[in-house]
A and B are shown apart, each in its own frame.
Chain A
Amino acid sequence: MAEDADCRKVTCETLRVRLLHEPSGELDAAALAHLSLCDDCAGALVTAVLKQGAEPEIPTDFAARVCAALPPPETLPKDAVEASHRFTGTRIAVAISMILALAACVSFAAVPQTLLPAGLLGTALAAFLITEGVGLALWLGLRGNWR
């Protein structure tokens, strides 16, 4: 049979190699005959063509035309300005808390044994301030999310 003869000319291996190197290459009658009968190779062909992707021509001035059609910039909503202040406030509160925590750790480590009670008092005060800072940061952040 002519169809069987065509199929034998093209094997799965030769066709896969061809698809790998030339996914957009020509497919002759023998290859078509093989593909119509071989599910695996037909699947490989579909995958190869899909991977190759469509390459439509993009006008060189497309980006410029899109930007020319953009609506005029809107003024910033009040919420956006407040969000900026909250964001900045949160960052400052976190930074202050970190500095205080570091200072507390350093001062506690440097306190002599005889002055430990005073060192503890200082550490408690620092911990109180740190807690205040963290609370402020959380409050600023959460307040924004609740809106």
Chain B
Amino acid sequence: MKLFEGEFSLTAVITPEEFEGIVREHQSMVFRSLARLLGSREQVEDLAQEVFLRLYRGMQNFRGEARLTTYIYRIVLNVVQDEWKRQKPEQEFVSFDEPESRWDERLPSGELDPEQQLGGRQLAAELNAALQELSAAERSALVLFHQEDCTYEQIAHLLSLPIGTVRTHLHRGRKKLQKLMQNRMELWQKTPIAGK
């Protein structure tokens, strides 16, 4: 991660041209994180714009105590949190073992192609859908750890959680995802292929 200390003094007023450079440098990370955390690409562009607008407004208060990348991650998590609350204000996370969870109905249709193969894109889509079955903390921890290569300490700082709790969320999240994907694979094997 790039250290950004020293770029801005207490009186810095960043110009739009300078900010455009920052956007170009970090847009890939922001888009990637939003897509994974939301499990959908529909609102990613709008929310990415929101992330950078919040970043611009917060630049006046950014004094370089933390890396800019960490600061952006925090904004991404806040934006995603707001979006989750807006979409499902009273979401209850039910274990996939519970009969009322009906997790299999919420997953995308996993029909295999005629050659009985599961493509990479479909696999990623299934995983993204399965991620939505996890708790917010588990989802965030997994994406930050595996996709963004954040350390335990960074994740703990971003999520305002003890490191031990982060490790627990990672472990449980991985196990749940693994189980979800295995159940899905069993279902694919048992479901006859639709005629194509």
Contacts and interface: CB of A to CB of B under 8 A. Distances in A.
Interface in A40-81: 42-43, 45-47, 49-56, 58-59, 62-67, 69-71, 73-74, 76, 80-81
B101 interface: no
B127 A66 contact: no
Contact of B20 (A35, A54, A63): A63
B24 interface: yes
Contacts of B167: none
Nearest to B38: A54
B11 A83 contact: yes
Interface residues of B, number: 54
Given A43-B178, A50-B146, A73-B13, A62 B118 contact: no
Contacts of B66: none
Interface residues of A, number: 46
B189 A70 contact: no
Contacts, number: 132
Q: Please report whether the interface of chain A is mostly helix, strand, loop or mixed according to DSSP.
A: helix
B68 interface: no
Q: Please report whether the interface of chain B is mostly helix, strand, loop or mixed according to DSSP.
A: helix
Contact of B146 (A32, A47, A56, A64): A47
Contacts of B94: none
B23 interface: yes
Q: Closest 9 A-B residue pairs measured CB to CB?
A: A24-B120, A50-B146, A54-B35, A63-B23, A36-B185, A29-B116, A27-B118, A56-B35, A26-B117
Given A28-B115, A56-B44, A62-B49, 16 more contacts: A25-B120, A27-B117, A28-B117, A33-B189, A35-B185, A36-B186, A42-B178, A45-B181, A46-B174, A49-B127, A53-B36, A56-B32, A63-B27, A66-B49, A71-B57, A83-B11
